[in-house]
Structure formats: C-alpha cells, structure tokens
Structure 1
Amino acid sequence: MRLMLVEDSVSLADQLIPMLREHGYAVDWLADGRDALVKAHDDPFDLVILDLGLPGMGGLQVLRQWRAEGLGVPVLILTARDSWSEKIEGLQVGADDYLTKPFHPDELLLRVQALLRRTHGNVNDSRLRVGSLTLDEQRQSVWQGEQEMTLTGAEFRMLRYFMHNPGRLLSKGQLASHLYDNESDRDSNVLEVHVNRLRRKLGKGAIETRRGQGYVFIGGDG
C-alpha cells in the first residue's frame, strides 16, 4: 500500500516515515502543498496523510482542489489541538478522518489501517479475511485456516494489497506503484518472483495470471 505524507515538520516526518515503512507501507514525503497538489495526480496513492499548516498552499486548499478535480483518494488530515473550525471544514470539503496534534505515532498507524480497511469495504474487523486467509496488520502475521504462515516482508506487503483487492484485475504496473516508493524496486521480474513464492505458499490457484493484463487474487486453498 502506498501512502503520501504531506508534512512540513522534518522532525515529525523523520518519526513517522520509518514507522510506516516498518509496517510495510511505501511512503512518499512532501513538505509543500503545491507539490502535493500535483503529485496526487502523477502517482496512484492508497491514502494521503495531510497536514493543514503547509507552506506554498494550505492543506485545506489542497484538499478542496483535489475533491473539485474528482480525486477520491482517502485523506487523513492532521490539525492543531485548538483548530476545531479547521477540523469541521476539513471534513466538509472531503477529509475522511482527522488526527489532532500532538499525537502518538501508534494512533496514526491504527487510523491509517482502519481507514484503508473501511475504504476497501472491511469495516467490522481489525483483520483482513479472504477465503481461508486471515491477515493481522498489527502483528504482521497471516494464517491459512488455523496454520500461521511464514512470509517475507515483501510477500506480506504484496499479499496485503491483494487481500484489499480480491477478485480485481491488477496489472504489474499497479502492483509496483502501490507497493514500492523507490523506482529501482519496480522490476517486473521481481514482482513475478514474489507472486510465484506466494503461490507456492498459498496454493497454485490463489493468484491467477491474466496473460498480458496482470493478476487476480482468488484466495488461499485452505
């Protein structure tokens, strides 16, 4: 899953980025509202963490422009403790959730996870479930039935994205752009290796290949 963090505080960004990457998210960091306005259209993001007090262009103006342009990416806004009017206005112009500064990084992580689950229709559980598979984002662990599986970090990230999009045709380009924040990592051969490794662990029928189009996640054989 690929996130955009728009935050002009270097110290806060330095705190959040390693934590988010440790939990398997690809993160693009921007510090100027004008850059964020354009970047959201250039690359596919699963969620944006948007500070409101930005240089160049304020977060509310950025969000208002995104929504006016039809950009529906989920947005979690960061607000100052006493900015009730900004919270209300942010929700009115299209924010999906907000978090008040100062906050604990773990709370931001939980809100990101919950918002992504809600966006993909999984609103009643903190775990992702598809067929016989259960994925726990907090523990970064996966079960097939009652059996816990051993996955690498890359395999976990790929499986999580597949489980957020079951039955949906995903091209190699979509997978790469949502899983990696570094252009050098977006190699189709590397993607194929991870897909094949997941197939061996989940069962051959778990991931269908659509020649020339991409992959469709069906679920584990369990």
Structure 2
Amino acid sequence: MRILLVEDDAGTAAFVVRGLREAGHVCDHLADGQDGLFHAAREDYDLVIADRMLPGLDGLSMVRALRGAGNRTPVLFLTAVGGVDDRVEGLEAGGDDYLVKPFAFAELMARVNALARRPPLQQVQTLLKVADLELDLVRRTARRAGQELDLLPKEFTLLEVLMRNAGRVVTRTMLLERVWDFHFDPKTTVVETHISRLRAKIDKPFPVALLQTIKNAGYSLRAPR
C-alpha cells in the first residue's frame, strides 16, 4: 500500500516509517498538518496515518477538510490523548480508527491490515497494470503474461513506485527517497543494482522490454506503442 504518515514527533515518525517500509509498504512522511492536507488531497494514497496534535493544522481539522472535499481515504489517528471523548471526536471528524501512544508496532500493523481489508467507500486501486505486467498490492504478488514473478520486498516496492508513475520519468533521487528513505545521495549503486535485478525478472524472460533507462534523467516503465 501507499501510506502517508503525518507526524511531527521525529522519533515516532522514524519508528513507524521504518516498520512500514520493512513490511513492504511505500510510506511518505510529513510533519505539518497543512502539508499533510495538501499531499493527501493531491496524491493517491491507500491510507493516511495522522497525529492529532500537529503544527500548521491539527489532525482533526486536516481530516475534516479532507472529508469535506469528498476524499474518503481511510485515516488512522495516532494520539497521546486516549479518553473516550477524544476517541469519539476523532471518529466523528472522519477518522476510521484510533491508536493511543505509546503503541506496539504489531498493533499498528494489525490496524493497518484491518483497514486495508475493509470494502472501500470509493474505488481504491489495488491492482496496477502496465501492458501484460500486473502488481497486486493486496496479495503482494506480481505477474507478467500470467507468469508469477518472484520479487524481493525492495524489488516489489521499487516496481510499485515505477508502476504508479507509468509513462513518466522517475528520477534516481525520487527512488532513493520513496524506496530507501534516503533524503541525500549516499553515493552508492543501490538504485542501479536493484533496477538491474528487477529488469532481469520483469523484462529479460519476455520478448518486449517495459523498463526503460532514460539517459541523464532516470527510469520509466512504459507500455509498448
């Protein structure tokens, strides 16, 4: 799944982002409620995890604004306030679930998985397709021409980012941030190495290549014309 975390506590954010990415999800992190509202409204997320107390715009107001704009993306509140009235307020603001800090990551994952299993109120894309390549985000499976592909977790996440941006150029910097959570250039060949491994699995056994290297720009997954 593609998840947006809006959390201003650096320690909590690092803990959650690391765990979600290790579980194979794509996770973007923001620390400001106003930025969270902008990105949640503009981007295609499967889940938003938001703290209630945020700078810029508090979590309740952020979710109310999303719901008022017709956005039905599931929202899980993380908060240090866990009274009954607080939980009711969060749910009535448009939240779908509520988790009180401190929490065990296993419980967070259980709640994330439960929200993923709910029938969506709006159509949520869980199957990505480019030509004869398919990525099932719920079952965590990949197929090309009906043949199942054996992808490692990072390869799956890398392919998800490329497929969500099918036809567009995805830069090395974008991949470092979205797949490896590097917000600087580590001066390694990790992207190139994983692209090579992914290409060997999704392209080399098949007659038509989908994953293109765009010179001096990045990479693009494109259906043949």
- TM bracket, shorter-chain basis: 0.5 to 0.7
What letter corresponds to residue 202 of structure 1 in structure 2? I
- Tell me how far apart the structure 1 counterparts of residues 127 and 176 of structure 2 sit (CA, whole Å): 24
- Tell me how far apart the structure 2 counterparts of residues 185 and 24 of structure 1 sit (CA, whole Å): 22
- The counterpart of 1:36, out of the listed 32, 39, 47, is 32
- Tell me how far apart the structure 1 counterparts of residues 131 and 89 of structure 2 sit (CA, whole Å): 44
Partner of 1:76: 75
TM-score by length of 1: 0.61
Write out aligned runs for 1:4-153 (5 A): 4-6=5-7, 20-25=20-25, 27=27, 35-37=31-33, 47=45, 48-52=48-52, 54=53, 58-61=58-61, 76-78=75-77, 83=87, 86-90=90-94, 98-101=96-99, 105-109=109-113, 111=115, 122=125, 126-153=126-153
- Tell me how far apart the structure 1 counterparts of residues 64 and 187 of structure 2 sit (CA, whole Å): 35
User: In the TM superposition, what is the alpha-carbon distance from 1:36 to its structure 2 partner?
Assistant: 3.0
| Partner SS for 1:193 | helix
User: In the TM superposition, what is the alpha-carbon distance from 1:76 to its structure 2 partner?
Assistant: 2.5
Instruction: Flag as ranges the 4+ runs of structure 1 deviating above 6 A.
Output: none
Q: 1:132 to 1:113 in 2, by over 3 A?
A: farther
User: In the TM superposition, what is the alpha-carbon distance from 1:21 to its structure 2 partner?
Assistant: 2.6
CA RMSD of aligned residues (A): 4.5
Question: What are the superposed Cα offsets for residues 16-42 of structure 1, whole Å, 9 maximum, x if unpaired?
Answer: 656523321355778xxxx4348759x
User: In the TM superposition, what is the alpha-carbon distance from 1:99 to its structure 2 partner?
Assistant: 2.5
Structure with higher RCO (Cα < 8 A, 6+ apart): 1
Runs of 5+ consecutive residues of structure 1 not aligned to the other structure:
67-71, 91-96
- Tell me how far apart the structure 2 counterparts of residues 55 and 197 of structure 1 sit (CA, whole Å): 40
TM-score by length of 2: 0.61
- Relative to its length, the structure with more helix (as a share) is 1
User: In the TM superposition, what is the alpha-carbon distance from 1:195 to its structure 2 partner?
Assistant: 1.3
- Tell me how far apart the structure 1 counterparts of residues 28 and 161 of structure 2 sit (CA, whole Å): 17
Judge conservation of contact 1:23–1:140 (CA < 8 Å) in 2: no
Runs of 5+ consecutive residues of structure 2 not aligned to the other structure:
101-106
Partner of 2:216: 212
- Tell me how far apart the structure 1 counterparts of residues 155 and 75 of structure 2 sit (CA, whole Å): 27
Q: Across the two proteins, how many residue pairs are aligned to each other?
A: 197
- Tell me how far apart the structure 1 counterparts of residues 3 and 97 of structure 2 sit (CA, whole Å): 19
Judge conservation of contact 1:5–1:50 (CA < 8 Å) in 2: yes
Identity %: 25
User: In the TM superposition, what is the alpha-carbon distance from 1:140 to its structure 2 partner?
Assistant: 2.5
